[in-house]
Amino acid sequence: MKTTIKTEVARKAITAGLPLLVLGLILSHRGNQMQAADRPESKTEIVLTEDVEWTPLNPARGDKGPKAGTLWGDRAGDRQTGFLVKFADGFSSPPHIHNITYRGVVISGLVHNDDPGAEKMWMPPASFWTQPAGEVHITAAKGADNMAYIEIERGPYLVLPSEEANDNGERPVNVHESNLIWLSAADTTWIDSADRESSTKGPWISHLWGKLESGKASGTLLKLPVGFEGEIQSNNPSFRVVVIEGYPQMQEVGIPETTSLEPGNYFGSKGASNYRVSAGSKKETILYIRTDGSYKVSPKEISNQATQ
């Protein structure tokens, strides 16, 4: 009898507490839903090198040729595309042509791209080159870790025999990293500076291709000095970034997560965008940026003043 009474009392006590427990769970769930609804949604697409799907650059050669991994777009389709290419150490292609013009930036190792009979001009990281459609050339690579970023205005990207060569009027460009022209805040309005006349410590911008007009596509390299912290702002229809050198950290303004990046990583967005970027304390950072118009680079002290 005593056991029955104690059990009954306990049952009533537990039952009486159930409505409060259920109410607490409901309120907690609704609170989590409200927090999720209030949290801004990221507009940024991020592709890390470790997540890239690697396939043969030239299906006809299969594993004997370089590997390619798409960062954005579709190199097999009829649209703008950016992709990575990995070469084996000592790779040298036979003479060939492409059906479309492409541009490239060396990320690691050394790359040579020229006429079949030309002397080797090895281009190190941050070097830039273009290859016109229809022109016979060879591509060679040297280095244990050899990778480049390739960009096309339309696909598909095809490798064709040199017998189909033709002249489309374009001429190739090879720019060794040491020949790049870097502009500081004293030379361009794309970089904010408290004192433009003493802005030799960076950041710096090097214009590679395109027209520096609103709505016009262009490609630039942005060099951030060791220890840089600041923001990169764009109001353009698209903004695409590939890490060429360094190990920066990136955070979309308004989004709590920070992403650690390395050479070959990509991030991009459509429409107005604002990113906090830090270059780290050991190595300067070089970013390749493709966008439709200008962008603004603001060191931390400048961006802080703008928000006060």
pTM of the model: 0.85
Rounded Cα gap, residues 224 and 299, in angstroms: 10
The DSSP call for residue 183 is B
Rounded Cα gap, residues 303 and 297, in angstroms: 9
* Residue at 50 is within a domain: yes
Question: What tens digit of pLDDT does each residue of 188-213 get?
Answer: 999 998 665 556 788 999 999 998 88
* Residue at 7 is within a domain: no
Q: Domain of 62?
A: 46-178
CATH number of the CATH domain containing 153: 2.60.120.10
Q: How far is CA 203 from each of CA 134, 173, 187, 267, rounded to the nearest angstrom? A: 38, 25, 11, 20
Same domain, 125 and 248: no
Same domain, 298 and 185: yes
Residue 41: what pLDDT?
A: 78
* Residue at 29 is within a domain: no
Which DSSP helix (H) or strand (E) runs through 27? helix 2-38
Last residue of a domain, one of 149, 178, 207: 178
* Residue at 23 is within a domain: no
* Residue at 87 is within a domain: yes
Residue-level pLDDT, tens digit, the chain, 308 residues: 334 434 454 454 444 554 544 445 444 555 555 444 455 678 899 999 999 999 999 988 888 899 999 999 999 999 999 999 999 999 999 999 999 999 999 999 999 999 999 999 999 999 999 999 999 999 999 999 999 999 999 999 999 999 999 999 999 999 999 999 999 999 999 999 866 555 678 899 999 999 888 889 999 999 999 999 999 999 999 999 999 999 999 999 999 999 999 999 999 999 999 999 999 888 999 999 999 999 999 998 755 544 44
